[in-house]
Structure 1
């Protein structure tokens, strides 16, 4: 079965000329094209396993549109490459180790060889197909470190395949973030070709990095040539079959057969290791169908089987499993593929970005893939050990870019308080966090934010340490201050757990510094008190709370408004309630985010703000209404995401709505919303499960919580803790209805651990 991107709500099953899969799995509900249009930037190609290094798919160009994942719905295919990212922004990355099929002879391999497609691309978990207008069909399958191309050329024609080492995804935004090709090598031998390409830049502004490749054709070519050239001149063929240098270079292979199989392995270490990866993972007799089956089985075992539902509509089941698929495409597991790392030390790359994912992605990552998550935490600490700082984002073995705080601190804190131990060295983990909290990173002179580092760490630390707030000398001053506060709270959590009482007190106090940006005189729409820019002399600057200016790198607030950022100190909610004027004002302030169109469904800073109603007695039903309102922005079609996937952050958002809980990052607290399904079971590992059931309700019309039983006991709180339902498994039994029960919950409010005397929540 393959899935076509044909309708926003209906995923059609098409039959192609390959044997049916032996057993039906949840992969049949996955639309790999979900979120590929409308700014979702998701990668629809072949990813043979969660976090696979190889991501094999088409590269499409259409005018000056940036193809962040390589794919565009409209435009010409100009190559099929083995490396991509999913759901990223800023500028494209990768699109390397590419080949392009051509009918007939190739006079100039550096000419525009791109071709339109004859119809919509087709794909499913582990499989992809494009059909070009000149009669070429390209089917793709892969393993974690190698890819398989199956070409069908029109009969009675010679066929050529061009391998262009210089192929890389371009950017047309003019921000200076476009990728560059630096040079490489291409060598042809009797039974294979190999080489490497070196590239730089992209969204994380990385310096030169290299990828090695090794390719084999299962049909002997009738001729094989290497070439060199530039973009301005005709390529020249080289009879030596070995070319290298900074010019564009590659090879052209000609065949008289109409069916050609191409197998390619990659490695960050050497061409020999690329050949080893190829020979180990895709042997000459490996069929495309077997790789597709293998990929489906892997995704089912590792991801899809971990979340089981009953009573779901077809559309909701498609949304569930398509979102799970999109959530685990990146980061990339490159353990053993970094020359600076011990071969058995976990190493994950392509992290985009913890600013996006720390709010709700990483917490679900831990639940669905606890073993990989422990490795991921170890990898973050390992990057600090080798490179000096943990990343907020990372690609091609290079940290960058930091949009606000050092949010790896939040991720480590969240993992620590939820019991991630195993082989994690938490003493080293805390030292890595302290590096973020105490060491000013060198300025990488980013043209978009030249004041301080956007590569790693906290560039505005001098103000934070000396003043307790951040002045407008630094870009993104207010949003950074809010995030630095939550980062410091993360250090408090880990320090307290490790028995470091002095450090725990220090960072708890620093986590309250967001309050230093609070101007009680700033006002709008009958509300007073907002986090605003502040000068070194203590003077607050005038600020419209509904306007963030450009909301970008050079502004005081990054990608959201002062109204939203003023609601972002989620570790200190009761102090926030006090500052805004009490419960009624607090509720109205959340309401105003929606009424004033300040809540952006496709943007992460407001994610948690929508559910802070749970911190007011009798108002949990409003969080449920907002949850359902947000859920309506999603579907399983190509434009089914309300914004950029952001490496699965958007998909994890909708998955938490379905579960009916919301994680409070860096804490053990989960706010209770309302589940979508009559029954949902999460496999937690080691035989433990969390079973969530509903009765008396309907997802769309009767979704208000009337009562709840947790682990067989009546539950009167609008929150649960990690220990209640996740640490050892558990049950949650909801009774739902069509009208709010405003007397539930009447029990203890959620914790607000940085709020001191206000921690009881009564104002």
Structure 2
């Protein structure tokens, strides 16, 4: 991290920097200061790059919880200010409230109590060390400004301007609380400044001790006073006109303070703020330019697109070489890639979510199974980096462990719970357990476990493990054990309902119930009864779902009712949460791709925009951004499989760089805001009548040509269209 403070007050005699850490249990704090030359920043000229389309503030309101301050793609350091109005925002930023500090570790788009917000600094002006208002030093902001790799804001109370930028790594703290409580973690830091401090001290219990460089505390928590250091920089002898600037660099490591210092000195030599900022922008330009779009249907589309793509790369955090819990090197001495801060995807088990080097609460199944399955099916092992870093034998063993062993030793923080019931009954029974609602959700867990088993079956098939394949593809049908065919609501027949251990169903459940200890995680029975997206040996489970609901026409009426309310934030369909993300694409499975297009277009138009409230809910580590990006390009992936569905592009030209020398292009002809319906498609020069394609069709590059029109096509995308070829996404027998 590199931050810069402009001293603007003529009445100020000294600037003081509070280095505040909120810690747990005992803590020792040592303070040091280093000197070098400083570098003034000049305003950066506007450059014609894709980074200019990124607005970091999109998603910072409306419970989006986005982190808008500087970081690198997947960078460890995410430096930005925190406020006293956080509530459940882990990004640090809120639109109002007092600034309480500038900290170096955050996550983005997640709910729950703050996970990080540590290694905090706060600049203020005071006449002496002893007049610092420790009990109330926080300040309102006088202005704020955000760009890629850069932010700038004013502290109204002290007339101080702060500018922030970031390198890849930057320090130390212990704390607890929130979705991922976990054990304490240690972060080492190395804080250096371009000017010697004229006075130093430490504080605890709102009392400053001058000239003390070591402070020990026996108990520090959120409810007791903070511990920290005070550094004073005296400018009495320097004229105001000299535009005084203090530059600070803070290196962070999870291994040692020496490694933190090394990172700071290598990444920010000579305290060069502007060079660090340029490198941050260049890093983002490199990543964001892997997708180029042009010819948008509306003027704000590029901003929304690249801002969404940007948010997908804020986290997870690339902590390669920074994991103290296991060796960072393989047997050949090569660094093994290691990431943290990934959400809703465990130590000892495959991950569902993880932050601060410990597991978060499992919100359903084990979605790492889906990731592994995609890597296998899409043949991503051809990538040397992935191939060299993955032990496929060990990965498969981990999948089987997750599927067979109930992790009671870690309870709700590990993979699949209640496996004994799931394997014996084919479902998780209700309601005998007294756990919290977010842990004991037997219906949504049963659905997710079925999907996870399907992913394991696909991996087993590719590895020629036939017995395992048969076993897990059979278990993939377990969701159907919770299907109650006799319940009819709003013309829809059949729902996933809780089932008791004796086999009977709880038919009293309101299918629109979203409150209390329901058997579904963050969704209603109506929503989850459409959330069957995997396949089995003879047909897609979506096809089975269609049969259970009464056939294609009944299923179409059910989908029409699902999207009837155009707010798209109801118990029928909630675009603000992941369980419903795939539902607009379900029309593909009844040969009505054009209806998927209509719904998706309307959602993108109404629920995504340029302002701070420009996403329809929690961004969830870039999940909202990725949903928009895929649909704006006109394709959407089926999770855990190698299939992409074709919708309708919002750009006339899309170029995806699969590698530096391999591109996949999507070209939309006759493209306009009125021409939203697909008329004809060519894939790699061949007429293509399906509404989907496989990854292998484009893995070596390719061109998807989509001809658009203002009327629904009667020949493309319909069941048994030209040549009698089915357009429905494939059955398992096609694998």
TM-score by length of 1: 0.81
Are the counterparts in 1 of residues 296 and 650 from structure 2 also a CA contact under 8 Å? no
Provide, for residues 461-494 of structure 1, a one-character-per-residue CA deviation record: whole Å limited to 9, x for no partner. Answer: 1211111011113521111111111000000010
* Cα distance change of structure 1 residues 518 and 311 upon mapping to structure 2, 3 Å threshold: closer
Are the counterparts in 1 of residues 295 and 652 from structure 2 also a CA contact under 8 Å? yes
* Equivalence map 1:46-65=2 (5 Å): 46-47=70-71, 49-62=72-85, 65=87
Q: Does 1:504 align with 2:469?
A: yes
Q: Does 1:466 align with 2:457?
A: no
The equivalent position to 2:180 in structure 1, one of 204, 211, 218, is 204
Question: Distance in 2 between the 1:262 and 1:17 partners?
Answer: 13
Runs of 5+ in structure 2 lacking a partner?
A: 1-39, 221-225, 236-243, 329-334, 382-386, 434-439, 535-540
The match for 2:555 is 586
Are the counterparts in 1 of residues 193 and 248 from structure 2 also a CA contact under 8 Å? yes
* Equivalence map 1:199-348=2 (5 Å): 199-229=175-205, 234-237=206-209, 239-246=211-218, 247=220, 248-257=226-235, 258-283=244-269, 285-311=270-296, 313-343=298-328, 344-348=335-339
* Equivalence map 1:590-739=2 (5 Å): 590-595=559-564, 597=570, 598-617=572-591, 619-632=592-605, 633-698=607-672, 700-725=673-698, 727-739=699-711
Question: Distance in 1 between the 2:94 and 2:545 partners?
Answer: 44
Give the SS at the match of 1:454. helix
Provide, for residues 170-199 of structure 1, a one-character-per-residue CA deviation record: whole Å limited to 9, x for no partner. Answer: xxxxxxxxxxxxxxxxxxxxxxxxx84322
The match for 2:139 is 115
Give the SS at the match of 2:361. coil
Q: Does 1:538 align with 2:529?
A: no
Shift of 1:313: 4.4
The match for 1:436 is 402
Question: Distance in 2 between the 1:605 and 1:130 partners?
Answer: 37
Question: Distance in 2 between the 1:294 and 1:112 partners?
Answer: 36
Provide, for residues 583-603 of structure 1, a one-character-per-residue CA deviation record: whole Å limited to 9, x for no partner. Answer: 101111111111264111111
Question: Distance in 1 between the 2:580 and 2:730 partners?
Answer: 18
Provide, for residues 544-568 of structure 1, a one-character-per-residue CA deviation record: whole Å limited to 9, x for no partner. Answer: 5632341x6x321111111221111
The match for 2:27 is none
Question: Distance in 1 between the 2:69 and 2:514 partners?
Answer: 37
Provide, for residues 43-82 of structure 1, a one-character-per-residue CA deviation record: whole Å limited to 9, x for no partner. Answer: 00011x21000000011123x7444211011111110011
* Cα distance change of structure 1 residues 324 and 253 upon mapping to structure 2, 3 Å threshold: same
Runs of 5+ in structure 1 lacking a partner?
A: 1-15, 147-194, 355-382, 445-452
Shift of 1:686: 4.6
Are the counterparts in 2 of residues 493 and 666 from structure 1 also a CA contact under 8 Å? no
Q: Does 1:125 align with 2:121?
A: no
Shift of 1:401: 1.7
Are the counterparts in 2 of residues 306 and 684 from structure 1 also a CA contact under 8 Å? no
Question: Distance in 1 between the 2:64 and 2:690 partners?
Answer: 36
Question: Distance in 2 between the 1:312 and 1:23 partners?
Answer: 24
Give the SS at the match of 1:708. strand
The match for 2:100 is 78
* Cα distance change of structure 1 residues 657 and 267 upon mapping to structure 2, 3 Å threshold: same
Are the counterparts in 2 of residues 523 and 545 from structure 1 also a CA contact under 8 Å? no
Give the SS at the match of 2:186. strand
Question: Distance in 1 between the 2:42 and 2:179 partners?
Answer: 39
The match for 1:426 is 392
The equivalent position to 1:456 in structure 2, one of 400, 414, 424, is 414
Give the SS at the match of 2:651. coil
Are the counterparts in 1 of residues 691 and 727 from structure 2 also a CA contact under 8 Å? yes
Q: Does 1:567 align with 2:530?
A: yes
Shift of 1:748: 1.7
Shift of 1:646: 0.3
Q: Does 1:744 align with 2:716?
A: yes
Shift of 1:237: 1.1
* Cα distance change of structure 1 residues 256 and 323 upon mapping to structure 2, 3 Å threshold: same
Q: Does 1:389 align with 2:349?
A: yes
Shift of 1:304: 2.9
Question: Distance in 1 between the 2:641 and 2:96 partners?
Answer: 44
Question: Distance in 2 between the 1:236 and 1:219 partners?
Answer: 22
* Cα distance change of structure 1 residues 391 and 77 upon mapping to structure 2, 3 Å threshold: same
Are the counterparts in 1 of residues 668 and 705 from structure 2 also a CA contact under 8 Å? yes
Shift of 1:406: 1.0
